[in-house]
Chain A
Amino acid sequence: MTSPDRPDLDQLLAAWAAARRLPDAEAERIRQAIVPPAPPLQATWWSDFNEKISTAIARATATPGPALAALA
């Protein structure tokens, strides 16, 4: 049993853990030291992306050769 004005062991350990725990800023410094920065996006990424999408849609919706032959 502990007196009200006297911290118990759990409180002291919680305070110790909070003081000793790896700070977020230090953790981020470590993470950045490990993971090299990803290459930046190319300036043309949007037009490249659109081109790929357009090509995929055109291929998917084009009438296949046998169907065209049947219509002829």
Chain B
Amino acid sequence: MPPSRDDAAVFTEIFDRHRHAVHAYFLGRVADPELARDLVQEAFLRAWRRLSEIAPLPPDKQRAWIFTVARNLAIDSYRAGAARQAAEAALRHQAATEEATVAGPHLEAESRERLAQVDAAIRRLPEEQRVILSMATAGGLTSRQIGEALGEPAGTVRYRLSQARKQLAAALDLEERS
């Protein structure tokens, strides 16, 4: 049976509400933009197939549902080895080239270089810190929301975020605000 226009509209609303957070999570987990996008698509495909179950939920419960799927997908991806290989390849590539790959052509060379340094420093963070930092910055989630999504206490999230920032500040030769 083809989807109704209402189903598509409801799904689009859910997709738009959570896509940045889910993408940021996968970006932190796999450190490979291409794979992160594939995993976003797979997570939301599963949400689409269970739309009647998810649609009535409030946004925070929707997020919890989608992140349960996302965490399982990340685990499956790790088991398959694809994520780990991609992350390692990305790290080697970053270390070898030092090229700016994260910025668009509108940015000056100096800014591109700085962004590449930030990108490399984030990739070198422990995964648990990288995921939280990505969700907080690229995903725009609060510590409480990250904690709910990952099944961690908000205090643990705040601590890891603080550790990540300290490590980044040290790696980038910046002074971190306390």
Binding site for B on A (CB under 8 A): 1-2, 6-9, 12-17, 19-22, 26-27, 30-31, 33-36, 38-39
Contacts and interface: CB of A to CB of B under 8 A. Distances in A.
18 contacts: A1-B175, A9-B165, A13-B168, A16-B102, A16-B118, A16-B122, A16-B137, A16-B138, A20-B24, A20-B33, A20-B134, A21-B20, A22-B20, A22-B23, A22-B40, A30-B37, A35-B3, A38-B8
Contacts of B82: none
A34 to B, nearest CB: 5
Contact of B2 (A12, A14, A36): A36
Contact of A19 (B40, B44, B104): B104
A34 B138 CA distance: 23
A34 B44 contact: yes
Interface-central residue, B4, B19, B165, B176, by most chain A CB under 10 Å = B19
Contacts of B103: 15, 19
Contact of A22 (B2, B11, B37, B169): B37
A1 B152 CA distance: 32
B69 interface: no
Interface residues of B, number: 43
Contacts of B134: 20
Given A8-B177, A16-B115, A17-B138, A34 B45 contact: yes
A2 B118 contact: no
Contacts of A9: 165, 168-169, 172, 174, 176-177
A25 B38 CA distance: 15
Given A27-B19, A31-B15, A13 B137 contact: yes
B54 interface: no
